Chain A
Amino acid sequence: MANGSLTHTFSDGIMPETGDILMFLLTVAWLLPLAGFVVEVYWLCFSHRLNKGAAYVAVACIGIGFLCSLTALLYWGNATKWAALSEPEHHAHSASHDAGHAEAGHGEAGHEHEAHAVDADEHSHSPPPAPAKKYFSGTYYELARFSGLRVSLDWYIDSLTLVMFTMVTFIATCIHIFAIGYMHDELTEEYEDHEVHLHNGGHFSRPGRFHRFFAYLSLFSFSMLGIVLSGNIFQVFIFWELVGLSSYLLIGFYIERKSASTAANKAFIMNRVGDFGFLIGMMILWTSFGTFQFGDRTEGDHTQAGLFTMVRGQDGKLDVSEDGKEVYLQDAYGHRAERNGKPLSISYMLLVAAGLGVFAGSIGKSAQFPLQTWLPDAMEGPTPVSALVHSATMVAAGVYLAARFYPVFTPEVLLGIAYIGCITLFIAATIALVVTDIKRVLAYSTISQLGYMMLAIGVAGWGAALFHLVTHAFFKSLMFLCSGSVIAGCHHVQDMSRMGGLRHKMKITAYTMLVGVIAIAGLAIPGTSIGLSGFYSKDAIVASALAYSELNPGHILLFIAPLVTAGITSFYMFRLWFLTFAGTPRDAHVYEHCHENPSVMTTPLLVLAVLAAGCAWGGEGGPLYRLIADSELVPATARVASTGAAKVILPSHQGHESDVHHVHSTAGMLALISAIIGMTLAYLLYVKKTIDPNQIRQQFSGVYDFLVDKWRFDSLYDAMFVAPVHIVSAWCVSFDKGVLDPILHSAASLTVLTSKWDRAFDETFVDGLVNLVGTVTYNVGNSLKVIQTGRLRQYVMWIAVGVIVLFGALFTTIPK
């Protein structure tokens, strides 16, 4: 449909609309990995196992996808004259200027979609000014239509989509290239898996699965981009499940390892728990709103409002009834939506439930408390997978969804999100303190950072959350690739207690890792605001949290936890670096055999290190933040006080007069101090050894064991869910064996017995009767045969005698 209109525009020689071009570029970027997947899945049909071509196909697909995404971003920037990058006060006007053009183009070409714009000039005198809408949306294909309700494949493009596309495709390209080196030992007909021990003491061996790995990676890229491009929540759900599937396949890549297959199952099942909530949320939305669509949709001369417009209207405010029990829905023209003359509304509690439901999906996907336990186990997958799927992109999809759905969330839901994020970031960070597996430290750090993002969304720091999402994606994928490089260099040793001093042997890995560590720790040069990317994004989150807790003193924990955790983060990340790269080798064997990796693996590290250091350049005044914040649908230029069950005030965070801006320098300083304390402690413990970590461990053995046990979550879930299931299963087994089986067995023996009786009856009575008839007939015949002498004269005699007897009888009986 939309494609059709695109070609139509080109052939007519009219300048195609910005939205069409963006849609075309992003669709190409989105579908290329799918094409790659198809080729790689059937790789063995036209090539052989030892051919690296599958990897090149995958890299080419995602690489071209990156170029398309980047082109789209630049094109969008040029079309809007980079209005998003200018001071926020001006860009509303210029954006609407551009959108006005799009509107005009729409009228001429008769397109189904358009740049939805509200002309800011018309409203400039009425306070507050209506925000300009800066997204493009449209429909690829309509799947079904039930009178007014439709299910379709849509696209929705705003600056956030563009940034996410560019980020995902770029990181994916780097990781694909890295994986060519990392998965090199799969290029064999006979891969021996040293982790799988057979009964005969040998190792399991199988054909290499190089092409299959890249097929899964491509499938994942396609699904992930699908989530970002989706124009409705139903479509998001489809790709949500697809990334779940590809994550399952990738975690279980070494499926013969018991731990890997269990981890894959765990990830899949934990995600289903969250998706259950997601489904409920979707049902509520479908029932109450009658649409899944994010953006407004114009059909003919009528514009049907999308979800966001329905909830937030044109001014970004909830239209709550006076008693606070109903929320009136808005139509696309700034009025209350009506159906059959009655205003459309949704119960406030239902709206809360829908928000919590959708957020439950995010909890599962982003490994938030209480579903966080699957992510550390997911580290069973190959390291490039951990870098791409389980740190940079897929787990961030939960945050992305929560951010995308921000307009639908009520303050109560936001409070819930904030506390979930707050709990998660603290729990995960404390566990990361004691873990010695290099990948698991990073896994817990990922959970913790995702918690930061959730917290930021919860405290109305929308831009800060997504800002951190992008910076985190860069430095975390960098660090995962570094850890992968270490693991590959040390021949699959992952335990940090066996490393040490590796910086002498792996210079590139060590120093790119250091960039990542500094970035995540949020270090900056004190007194200036010059730091690596993590400094800016974490700063933004902490500032949002501080502004929130100042307005809501009851929720001070939401500020203290991230502040303290900033120190913990800094500590465990430096601990990781010091244990791995600094000091002296603790295991001579590992050190002897360790080596730096080929350039196919180190080049992505260098590229990512540059971006991890510099992508957030300029902080909240910088281009990245401005680009992201441009998509915010619920702008907060003033405080918003909630009237619902949760009495909270959301701080304003736009402009120089906002609450967040006021506390920014304080928050930044506190976070920096916290991080420096963490770093110093790590230095004292693991480099200077002024304090012996072992002594601390012995002194706080209770706490230590608690942390090593991951806050006993696995044991708790074992006791809460697994053990009861086992007990119920045992009951079922005993019921089966004790009751059902005996019933079945006795029924069977009864049948056998009856059959025996039946057989005896048949054999004696029925058969006997038939035989008797036969025997009698035979005997009668036998006894009668003596009459048949064969002597002719005798027969004549009998005839004569018979005739005489007949006559005799005749004459005696017939009366005269």
Chain B
Amino acid sequence: MGDVGLNAYLMVGAVLFVCGVVCMATKRNGIGVLMGVELVLNGANVNFVAFSRYTSLGLDGQTIALFVIVLAAAEAAVALAIALNFYNNHLTIDVDRGNELQG
């Protein structure tokens, strides 16, 4: 198994990021949006880990990746709680219905 190089990892990370963003922008389901967020975060994580492997960044990148995972878990817990409350109030989780904060 030969070394595929940094660019390959960056490509995967970019694809993951774009997929996440597209998922966030298109999904009307709140859970879908959360999933898109996970994709975006993991895209970023791939980049961190890749840079730590191929550049002089060292273990720092991997540490930051770990922090991102932990924060993603916390964020997911909060976001799910918001989603549950949103459902309680609107009997749906369609994010387009949550436009009450508009100006």
Chain A interface residues (CB < 8 Å from chain B): 784-793, 796-797, 800
Please determine whether A796 and B24 come into contact, CB atoms closer than 8 angstroms. Answer: yes
Contact mask for chain B residues 65-97; partner A; CB cutoff 8 A; 1 contact, 0 none: 000000000000000000000000000000110
Complex CA distance for A784 and B103, rounded to whole angstroms: 8
The listed residue (B24, B27, B99) touching A791 by CB distance below 8 A is B99
Q: Is B56 an interface residue (CB 8 A)?
A: no
B interface bracket (residues with beta carbon within 8 Å of A): 10 to 19
Chain A residues whose C-beta falls within 8 Å of the C-beta of B24 in the assembled complex: 793, 796
Please determine whether A790 and B99 come into contact, CB atoms closer than 8 angstroms. Answer: yes
Please determine whether A796 and B21 come into contact, CB atoms closer than 8 angstroms. Answer: yes
Given contacts A793-B27, A796-B36, 5 further A-B contacts (CB under 8 A): A789-B102, A793-B25, A793-B26, A793-B33, A796-B33
Q: Is B58 an interface residue (CB 8 A)?
A: no
Please determine whether A785 and B103 come into contact, CB atoms closer than 8 angstroms. Answer: yes
Q: Which residue of B lies closest to A782 (CB)?
A: B103
Please determine whether A792 and B33 come into contact, CB atoms closer than 8 angstroms. Answer: yes
Closest 6 A/B residue pairs (Cβ): A785-B103, A790-B99, A790-B102, A788-B103, A792-B95, A796-B24
What's the least CB distance linking A50 to chain B, in Å?
93
Which residues, 43 to 80 on B, are CB-close (under 8 Å) to A?
none
The listed residue (A785, A788, A790, A800) touching B98 by CB distance below 8 A is A790
Chain B residues whose C-beta falls within 8 Å of the C-beta of A796 in the assembled complex: 21, 24-25, 33, 36
Complex CA distance for A238 and B103, rounded to whole angstroms: 93
Please determine whether A790 and B100 come into contact, CB atoms closer than 8 angstroms. Answer: yes
A-B contact list, 10 entries, CB within 8 Å: A788-B102, A789-B99, A790-B99, A790-B100, A790-B101, A793-B26, A793-B27, A793-B95, A793-B96, A796-B25
Chain B residues whose C-beta falls within 8 Å of the C-beta of A797 in the assembled complex: 25
Chain A residues whose C-beta falls within 8 Å of the C-beta of B33 in the assembled complex: 792-793, 796
What's the least CB distance linking A230 to chain B, in Å?
100
What's the least CB distance linking B92 to chain A, in Å?
14
Complex CA distance for A787 and B101, rounded to whole angstroms: 11
Please determine whether A786 and B25 come into contact, CB atoms closer than 8 angstroms. Answer: no
Which residues, 11 to 53 on B, are CB-close (under 8 Å) to A?
21, 24-28, 33, 36
Q: Which residue of B lies closest to A787 (CB)?
A: B103
Chain B residues whose C-beta falls within 8 Å of the C-beta of A793 in the assembled complex: 24-28, 33, 95-96
Q: Which residue of B lies closest to A799 (CB)?
A: B21
Q: Which residue of B lies closest to A798 (CB)?
A: B25
What's the least CB distance linking B67 to chain A, in Å?
21
Please determine whether A800 and B21 come into contact, CB atoms closer than 8 angstroms. Answer: yes
Interface-centre pick from A787, A796, A797 (highest chain B CB count, 10 A): A796
Chain A residues whose C-beta falls within 8 Å of the C-beta of B103 in the assembled complex: 784-789
Complex CA distance for A757 and B26, rounded to whole angstroms: 64
Please determine whether B95 and A788 come into contact, CB atoms closer than 8 angstroms. Answer: no
What's the least CB distance linking B99 to chain A, in Å?
3
What's the least CB distance linking A318 to chain B, in Å?
115
Chain A residues whose C-beta falls within 8 Å of the C-beta of B95 in the assembled complex: 791-793
Given known A-B contacts A784-B103, A785-B103, A786-B103, A791 and B25 have beta carbons under 8 A apart? no
Chain A residues whose C-beta falls within 8 Å of the C-beta of B26 in the assembled complex: 793
What's the least CB distance linking A606 to chain B, in Å?
117
Please determine whether B96 and A791 come into contact, CB atoms closer than 8 angstroms. Answer: yes
Q: Which residue of B lies closest to A797 (CB)?
A: B25
Given known A-B contacts A797-B25, A800-B21, A800-B25, A792 and B96 have beta carbons under 8 A apart? yes
Chain A residues whose C-beta falls within 8 Å of the C-beta of B96 in the assembled complex: 791-793
Complex CA distance for A797 and B100, rounded to whole angstroms: 19
What's the least CB distance linking A362 to chain B, in Å?
103
Complex CA distance for A790 and B94, rounded to whole angstroms: 13
The listed residue (B21, B25, B101) touching A788 by CB distance below 8 A is B101
Complex CA distance for A787 and B25, rounded to whole angstroms: 17
Chain B residues whose C-beta falls within 8 Å of the C-beta of A786 in the assembled complex: 103
Chain B residues whose C-beta falls within 8 Å of the C-beta of A787 in the assembled complex: 103
What's the least CB distance linking B86 to chain A, in Å?
11
Chain B residues whose C-beta falls within 8 Å of the C-beta of A790 in the assembled complex: 98-102
Interface-centre pick from A786, A788, A792 (highest chain B CB count, 10 A): A792
What's the least CB distance linking A209 to chain B, in Å?
89
Chain A residues whose C-beta falls within 8 Å of the C-beta of B21 in the assembled complex: 796, 800
Complex CA distance for A796 and B103, rounded to whole angstroms: 17
Complex CA distance for A787 and B95, rounded to whole angstroms: 17
What's the least CB distance linking B63 to chain A, in Å?
24
Complex CA distance for A414 and B18, rounded to whole angstroms: 136
Complex CA distance for A790 and B102, rounded to whole angstroms: 4
Complex CA distance for A786 and B102, rounded to whole angstroms: 8
Chain B residues whose C-beta falls within 8 Å of the C-beta of A791 in the assembled complex: 95-96, 99, 102
Chain B residues whose C-beta falls within 8 Å of the C-beta of A789 in the assembled complex: 99, 102-103
What's the least CB distance linking A622 to chain B, in Å?
126
Q: Which residue of A lies closest to B94 (CB)?
A: A792
Complex CA distance for A600 and B95, rounded to whole angstroms: 120
What's the least CB distance linking B42 to chain A, in Å?
17
What's the least CB distance linking B95 to chain A, in Å?
4
Q: Which residue of A lies closest to B96 (CB)?
A: A791
Complex CA distance for A785 and B102, rounded to whole angstroms: 8
Please determine whether B98 and A792 come into contact, CB atoms closer than 8 angstroms. Answer: yes
Q: Which residue of B lies closest to A803 (CB)?
A: B21
Complex CA distance for A793 and B28, rounded to whole angstroms: 8
Chain A residues whose C-beta falls within 8 Å of the C-beta of B28 in the assembled complex: 793
Chain B residues whose C-beta falls within 8 Å of the C-beta of A788 in the assembled complex: 101-103
Complex CA distance for A792 and B95, rounded to whole angstroms: 6
Chain A residues whose C-beta falls within 8 Å of the C-beta of B99 in the assembled complex: 789-791
Q: Which residue of A lies closest to B27 (CB)?
A: A793
Chain A residues whose C-beta falls within 8 Å of the C-beta of B25 in the assembled complex: 793, 796-797, 800
What's the least CB distance linking B19 to chain A, in Å?
12
What's the least CB distance linking A549 to chain B, in Å?
124
Chain A residues whose C-beta falls within 8 Å of the C-beta of B101 in the assembled complex: 788, 790
Complex CA distance for A791 and B97, rounded to whole angstroms: 8
Complex CA distance for A785 and B25, rounded to whole angstroms: 22
Chain B residues whose C-beta falls within 8 Å of the C-beta of A785 in the assembled complex: 102-103
Complex CA distance for A791 and B98, rounded to whole angstroms: 7
Complex CA distance for A797 and B24, rounded to whole angstroms: 9
Complex CA distance for A797 and B95, rounded to whole angstroms: 14
Complex CA distance for A379 and B96, rounded to whole angstroms: 112
Complex CA distance for A796 and B26, rounded to whole angstroms: 9
Q: Which residue of A lies closest to B28 (CB)?
A: A793
Complex CA distance for A790 and B25, rounded to whole angstroms: 14
What's the least CB distance linking A335 to chain B, in Å?
116
What's the least CB distance linking B25 to chain A, in Å?
5
What's the least CB distance linking B65 to chain A, in Å?
20
Complex CA distance for A177 and B25, rounded to whole angstroms: 124
Complex CA distance for A784 and B102, rounded to whole angstroms: 11
What's the least CB distance linking B18 to chain A, in Å?
9
Complex CA distance for A693 and B27, rounded to whole angstroms: 142
Complex CA distance for A785 and B96, rounded to whole angstroms: 18
Complex CA distance for A800 and B21, rounded to whole angstroms: 7
What's the least CB distance linking B47 to chain A, in Å?
14
Complex CA distance for A662 and B3, rounded to whole angstroms: 171
Complex CA distance for A790 and B100, rounded to whole angstroms: 6
Q: Which residue of A lies closest to B30 (CB)?
A: A792
Complex CA distance for A785 and B95, rounded to whole angstroms: 20
Complex CA distance for A790 and B21, rounded to whole angstroms: 18
Complex CA distance for A784 and B100, rounded to whole angstroms: 16
Complex CA distance for A787 and B102, rounded to whole angstroms: 8
Complex CA distance for A784 and B29, rounded to whole angstroms: 28
Complex CA distance for A800 and B96, rounded to whole angstroms: 18
What's the least CB distance linking A565 to chain B, in Å?
117
What's the least CB distance linking A793 to chain B, in Å?
5
Q: Which residue of A lies closest to B18 (CB)?
A: A800
Chain A residues whose C-beta falls within 8 Å of the C-beta of B27 in the assembled complex: 793
Q: Which residue of A lies closest to B24 (CB)?
A: A796
Complex CA distance for A280 and B82, rounded to whole angstroms: 105
Q: Which residue of B lies closest to A781 (CB)?
A: B103
Q: Which residue of B lies closest to A789 (CB)?
A: B102
Complex CA distance for A78 and B29, rounded to whole angstroms: 139
Q: Which residue of B lies closest to A784 (CB)?
A: B103
Complex CA distance for A289 and B97, rounded to whole angstroms: 115
